[in-house]
Amino acid sequence: MLEHGNAGLNLGHYSNPAYDDLMRRAAAVRDIARRADLLYEAEAVVVAELPWIPAMHTRSKAMVAPRRAGSDGRRWQKC
């Protein structure tokens, strides 16, 4: 989302070549564990620079009828 040139979601125009490289490498990796490692490294780059100040956090909730097959509501508890 914060990759350089992503005008749709990178509203602050964040730019870091190391972050971009990690994101490109992660997108090319099929091994989920290795991809997770690369994404963790990319997140660490952003967190270290903190290119924005979190001013608010939104939450959303969804109600799921218990009669709906396969839905016990637990999936939505993390929202």
Distance of alpha carbon 73 from alpha carbon 76, whole angstroms: 6
The 10s digit of each residue's pLDDT in 20-62 is: 999 999 999 999 999 999 999 999 998 898 877 777 767 777 6
Res. 2: pLDDT tops 80: no
Three-state DSSP class for residue 28: helix
Cα distances from 3 to residues 16, 20, 23, in angstroms, run 8, 5, 8
- The number of angstroms, rounded, from the C-alpha of 3 to the middle of its chain's C-alpha atoms is 12
Can you list the alpha helix ranges (DSSP code H) found in the chain? 17-28, 32-49
Cα distances from 33 to residues 16, 26, 45, in angstroms, run 24, 10, 19
